[in-house]
Amino acid sequence: MADVSPRTDISTDVDTDDRNKRFDRAVSHVNTASDSSDRSKDNKDSKTLRRLAQNREAARKSRLRKKAYVQQLESSRLKLTQLEQELQRARKQGVFISSSGDQLHSVSGNAGVVAFDVEYARWLEDQNQQINELRSAVSSHACDAELRIVVDNIVVHYDEIFRLKGNAAKADVFHLLSGMWKTPAERCFLWLGGFRSSELLKLLVNQLEPLTEQQVLGINNLQQSSQQAEDALSQGMEALQQSLAETLSSGSLTSVGSSGNVANYMGQMAMAMGKLGTLEGFIQQADNLRQQTLQQMHRILTTRQSARALLAIHDYFSRLRALSSLWLARPRE
């Protein structure tokens, strides 16, 4: 009995130490798991906070964009209302307003010019609506049949402006030649009352890639033929100007006191008037060239390429008009 008691005490102490160690390890595992859980929770909270912050920032930017868009719409509405009021006053007073908005021109007695400026402003408005429809169709990947209808309508709409210009040329050919129905930046590139077809084709080539070899050949041939026709018309205009100057400068440029000088003067004026009458023909030929170029380009390209070309043409002239607005609104000392 004396031998058994000490051994029993030692065994009990060892078991107690083992239990204490196992308990400590368990507590350590629990603490470690708790710390890991806390870190995971902190990470989730951090991600949630970042996501919430990003959502708030996106919502703020969306509100700002919406506010700017609404302000732009309101500004456009006010400008359109002002333009309509000015056009109404123009009809009553016999005054037309150039599309650039920078000058007023009295055309009392020339209703054809007033009508053209009003119709041209309406034509631009209709074109903007059609281009928006085309842009929407392209963005939504409309089928070729639907897209072709929109493209054909825009091509027909261009035919309308050529008809309006033909009537305006009969009323006052100088109004078209001066380009006062255009904005200042557009007038910088004006050629015989409109745009140069060859230059427009050069601008479009990079916008229409990729093109097939046959399409590239067709566009190049169209560009060259347009350039040749433009050169011929330009030479014709130069010859007309020279002939007109020679007619007006022939004979004496002093006072027309004698009856002979009066008769000579009247003869010169009659000849000059006859030569000026050919200006209408030059405008008509230039517009025919522009119209044929657009139609030929439409035949060379696919439906979707034609859509891209029409969008590029519209955007180019829209930027010219926007440039004119910025130029007129620039700070002046």
Q: What is the DSSP string of 205-237?
A: HTTS-S--HHHHHHHHHHHHHHHHHHHHHHHHH
Q: Is 280 exposed, middle or buried (0-12, 13-18, 19+ CB in 10 A)?
A: middle
pLDDT recorded at residue 97: 45
The answer to whether the predicted template modeling score (pTM) of the entire model surpasses 0.75 is no
pLDDT recorded at residue 77: 67
pLDDT in tens, 80-132: 666 666 656 555 544 444 444 444 444 444 778 888 999 999 999 999 999 99
DSSP codes joined into one string, 134-181: HHHHHHTT--HHHHHHHHHHHHHHHHHHHHHHHHHHHH-HHHHHHTTT
Q: What is the mean pLDDT of residues 277-302?
A: 94
Short-list 96, 94, 98, CA closest to 109: 94
Q: What is the mean pLDDT of residues 216-233?
A: 95
pLDDT in tens, 2-23: 444 444 444 555 555 666 566 5
Q: What is the mean pLDDT of residues 179-200?
A: 93
Residues near 142 by Cβ (< 8 Å), separated by ≥ 6?
Answer: 150
CB 183 within 8 A of CB 100: yes
pLDDT band, very low/low/confident/very high, at 207 (cuts 50, 70, 90): confident
pLDDT band, very low/low/confident/very high, at 79 (cuts 50, 70, 90): low
Specify which residues 106 forms β-bridges with. Answer: 95
Sign of CA dihedral 274, 280, 286, 291: negative
Sign of CA dihedral 50, 51, 57, 61: positive
pLDDT recorded at residue 208: 87
CB 209 within 8 A of CB 276: no
